[in-house]
Structure 1
Amino acid sequence: MISPENIHRILIAVEDSPYSDQAVNYGVLLAKNLGSKITLVHVDEIPISSPYSADPLLNESPAMIPELMHIQEEASKLLFKKIKEQHGDVVEISSITKIGRAQDEILAVAEDCQADMIILGTHGRTGFDHFISGSVSESVARKAKCPVLIIPNQDKK
């Protein structure tokens, strides 16, 4: 069992949303208190249906439009810059951008950077929305080799 003093590397999955902001704020506070380093990961999902998709039955990989990749890369850089400007003086922060299925890429980065903990936010979808879109946080929590902290949606409507 992992104890708090053994949490040296925290991976925080980020996107440009209030849910992600809550996870980052919590992760930074935790890292500051534990003296941990943070790695941010932003995953750009591959569009499922496009003229540039390949046939998964033939084991073909989808091709990405170069312009789309560039736009996604720039958006990731801006997101990381914003987070580092807000929290970079509090804790050490590095960042990684990946393209693929969010849950798969988050788990791969966690393994690569030897994360002691993964933190991510959740949209709090239930019912049909959850059935259709699935839950990245749920999938990561089930498959991760380290503790996963899911920060719930605090948006009260």
Structure 2
Amino acid sequence: MKKISRILYATDFSESSAPAAEYALTLAQLAGADIHVLHVIGELEDKRRGRIPPEAFELFEKEIEVHVVKEMDQFCRQHLRDEVRYTTETTIGKPFQVILATARSQNADLIVMGTHGRTGIEHVLMGSTAERVVRRSPIPVLTVPCHDGK
């Protein structure tokens, strides 16, 4: 069996990402692996972005980044504590593309991420980042379903 030394844990800080954090933590502890925690801020589509003046958009991006760094710190302290070695990263882009690129650049052996459990028309309209990652990833992907009482 291949050794797991680096886990990429992708999170959107939602409730559905908390169970996935537990799995990432447990697997890292069992394997003696490090975790790279990634949060991707989805970028606006070009047609929506064009309606925002460039200087306002730059200020908006900076404010979001400051907020997300604080949220990342709080999320990691709550869910990963000091029980494993981890690094964090926040970036802007298309989530599934950034997750795959980060897995490559971090030499990850495993990707762990939560799923929202969308079905039907909501799934068709919103798509699934986890599904896109699973289909395109050259390394194993562990998807952890949300336990929201459904």
TM-score by length of 1: 0.85
Among 19, 23, 34, the residue aligned to 1:22: 19
Which piece of structure 1 moves more, 103-112 or 22-31?
22-31
* 1:90-109 matches, cutoff 5 A: 90-109=83-102
Query: What does residue 30 of structure 2 align with?
Result: 33
Pairwise CA distance, 1:85: 1.9
Among 64, 68, 75, the residue aligned to 1:76: 68
Large movers: runs of 4+ above 6 Å: none
Query: What does residue 136 of structure 2 align with?
Result: 143
Alpha-carbon distance in structure 1 between the residues aligned to 2:132 and 2:31: 26
Give the match's secondary structure for 1:65: helix
Post-superposition CA distance 1:93-120 (Å, at most 9, x none) = 1011121110000000000001000000
Give the match's secondary structure for 1:142: helix
Q: Aligned AA for 1:137?
A: A
Alpha-carbon distance in structure 2 between the residues aligned to 1:33 and 1:115: 16
Q: Aligned AA for 1:19?
A: S
Alpha-carbon distance in structure 1 between the residues aligned to 2:145 and 2:102: 22
Q: Aligned AA for 2:42?
A: E
Give the match's secondary structure for 2:147: coil
Alpha-carbon distance in structure 2 between the residues aligned to 1:94 and 1:75: 18
Query: What does residue 124 of structure 1 align with?
Result: 117
Q: Aligned AA for 2:68?
A: S
Unmatched runs of 5 consecutive residues or more in structure 1:
54-62
Alpha-carbon distance in structure 1 between the residues aligned to 2:82 and 2:35: 12
TM-score by length of 2: 0.89
| Aligned-residue identity in percent | 33
Query: What does residue 9 of structure 1 align with?
Result: 6
